[in-house]
Amino acid sequence: MHKFTIKTTMLILLFCKISIVFSQEWQYKMSITEPIEYYRCFNIRELSDGNLISSANHYIRASTEEYWYSESPAVILLSKDGKELAHNNFFRPGYCTVSFGYTFEKDNYYYHLTTYSPEHFPGSFNHFENYDNPPSDAKLSLLKLDKELNLVESYDHSWPIDTYEDHGGSWEMYPNGFSGNIYLFTAFEEDDNIVGAYWKSVSFDNPSRGDDTLFFFRMNFDGEILLKKAVKVVEGKGNRYSEEKVIADSRGLRTHNFRGDHFVSTDYGYIFYLTGDGVPNSYQGAGRALYYDKDFNLLRTRYVKFNNPEYGETIGDFNVRRSNHNTTYLSSQMRSPDDPSHDEDCCLYELDDDIDAESNWLEIVNYIHRKTDEWDQPSFLSSVDLIDDNTLCYVYELYQGLNGDLDSYLVIEHLDNNLDTISTLYYGVDNGMTESVHDIERTKDGGVIIVNASSFLDNNEGYGFITKFPATAFGFEPDNIEEAHAHGLKLAVAYPNPGGDVMNIRTGLCNAILSVYDMQGRKIHEQEITDDITSIDASRWESGTYVWKLGIRNEELGMKCVESGKWVK
């Protein structure tokens, strides 16, 4: 069904005042800028009893005089209505974590898979050299937890790690990312085991450094590694844009290319997605799909190619999700075709990755392209969750001001199997905050949980949120604008705000009427809105504040305002 038809049906339901019982939203909020310690949630999953468990990181420093926080694994348990039931962190002296853990539920216990690497922040109380026996290893650890998140047992797998410190240049920006570490970026449960991948890095600019290595593994819930295999996805070392072979700038935390879900499981094995085509100085492909059997043996390689070869069409931050019909959704940050040197956009691609396809290029089944004039980003760890066999939910962040000078906002789209818009809603609009989104989870009752963080534009105060939105706010059942508004969601936004000679209106509504009024209530502009983004020439408008209203015309009821806001020139 076309989105206009659905939207018209929605508005007729609203005009007729059909009574709908509203679900209740809840929000779990935590400060992420406390002076000594704080927690920050990243990914979340619903448990069998309806409660929720979130992997988190715990940040701590000895005093406010220390610049660096030491980061350790943590877990937070919430009730189904968003109340905190328990939290715990798993700090280890001399160690930190540089990745994001994954949580599981098994036989009346919770499990948290995480990593530990030597702490390299030089000013931290926890710096590894501050101890009599400084760690020289990194660990992949499965933590077994009781229902109160107390540690029952830790199953550790430890390997020697390079602890060289460069103390200069790029290393000073993020010592833990540029020193030897283990970075876990994918883990999921399959056939009563855990399947995942981690990246073992050596220190940047170590004169004797070897190669970074990617490992696939299968582990049972007793912590035994049943299978582990080093995987050759890039070769050599050196800057990836130099004459040397690719590796140094293609790894884990250097570019954040390996930070979310890059694995999908199939009936024959797995497909692992990564950036680039593996050939130095080659822009023939934006990425690769590597096909493996269940024993992690490489079966074949296929390539992802998009539409902007001049700039390499490099995939920035991305994550993948398997569809219900044997294709893969790849959500990515891509260079903008309008201004590829200074702007990146959000794209969602559906890829036909059939292992038996003749072509070595993956066919693009469908895609959508979302943008502002800034560096927009996909969700941090996962961007897509399946609603049912025919629809999905897609979440990402759009920026009005990359450097914190304007609001940003989260976009939550309900899409059909053709990636056509059913509904588009905006969150965190005109609230003086910059938004970042980490994870999305669809719950059994049809709601959507989003994990995100917000920071004030004019100070260093920030908060982390886990927010549950009811299904009816997104149109998973009959769309309801009043409920969307009740939960802080908007159907349209005007940007940039404040702006200049152009006011952009972005909305998923079709055939709506935009009206703009000055503060004296005089209508100064009116036009039909038929595209996702409409640019209005405001060059002749005087500086000041304007009210905009978006309405839908109904033959019986006349014009109905469905969204409004203020815009400042």
Instruction: Mark whether 38 and 68 lie in a shared domain.
Output: yes
Instruction: Mark whether 6 and 72 lie in a shared domain.
Output: no
Indicate the residue among 216, 236, 259 that finishes a domain: 259
C-alpha 420, offset from chain centre = 21
pLDDT at 376: 84
| C-alpha distance from residue 466 to each of 43, 56, 360, 392, 450 (Å) | 10, 12, 41, 20, 6
497-538 pLDDT, tens per residue?
888 999 999 998 878 899 999 999 999 999 998 888 899 999
Indicate the residue among 371, 397, 425 that finishes a domain: 371
Q: What's 512's domain CATH number?
A: 2.60.40.1220
Instruction: Mark whether 255 and 280 lie in a shared domain.
Output: no
pLDDT at 242: 37
Cα atoms in the 13 Å half-sphere on the side-chain side of 466: 27
Residue type, 500: G
Structure tokens at 546: 């304007």
436-487 pLDDT, tens per residue?
899 999 999 888 999 999 988 888 889 999 999 888 887 544 357 788 888 8
Q: What's 243's domain CATH number?
A: 2.115.10
pLDDT at 6: 36
Indicate the residue among 490, 516, 533 that finishes a domain: 490
Instruction: Mark whether 298 and 237 lie in a shared domain.
Output: no
Cα atoms in the 13 Å half-sphere on the side-chain side of 216: 22
Q: Where are the beta strands (DSSP E) in 170-277?
A: 181-190, 193-201, 213-219, 225-231, 263-265, 269-275
This prediction's pTM = 0.88
Per residue of the chain (569 residues), give pLDDT as tens.
334 333 433 333 333 333 333 345 799 999 999 999 999 999 999 999 999 999 999 999 999 999 889 999 999 999 999 999 999 999 999 999 998 899 999 999 999 999 999 999 998 999 999 999 999 999 999 999 999 999 999 999 999 998 999 887 778 888 998 889 999 988 999 999 999 999 888 887 666 667 778 899 999 999 999 999 998 765 433 333 333 333 444 444 444 445 667 889 999 999 998 876 665 545 556 788 999 999 999 999 998 876 544 444 566 778 899 998 899 999 988 777 777 777 888 889 999 999 999 999 899 999 898 888 777 888 888 899 998 888 899 999 988 766 667 778 899 999 999 999 888 999 988 788 888 899 999 999 888 999 999 988 888 889 999 999 888 887 544 357 788 888 889 999 998 888 899 999 999 887 889 999 999 999 999 999 888 889 999 999 999 999 999 988 766 667 788 899 999 99
Instruction: Mark whether 394 and 404 lie in a shared domain.
Output: yes
Q: Positive or negative, the Cα torsion across 23, 408, 381, 120?
A: negative
DSSP 451-476: EEEEEESSSS-EEEEEEEE-GGGTTS
Instruction: Mark whether 347 and 433 lie in a shared domain.
Output: no
pLDDT at 237: 38
Instruction: Mark whether 324 and 459 lie in a shared domain.
Output: no
Instruction: Mark whether 74 and 21 lie in a shared domain.
Output: no
For residue 359, what are the domain limits?
A: 268-371
C-alpha span between 274 and 315 (Å, rounded): 9
C-alpha span between 517 and 338 (Å, rounded): 31
pLDDT at 314: 61
Instruction: Mark whether 330 and 410 lie in a shared domain.
Output: no
Instruction: Mark whether 387 and 460 lie in a shared domain.
Output: yes
pLDDT at 277: 62
Domain count, the chain: 4
pLDDT at 327: 95
* 164 within 8 A of 178, measured Cβ to Cβ: no
Instruction: Mark whether 10 and 113 lie in a shared domain.
Output: no
Omega before residue 496 within 30° of 0, cis:
yes
Which residues are bridge partners to 441 per DSSP? Answer: 449
Instruction: Mark whether 451 and 402 lie in a shared domain.
Output: yes
C-alpha span between 239 and 291 (Å, rounded): 26
CA–CA–CA angle 449, 450, 452 (5° rounding): 155
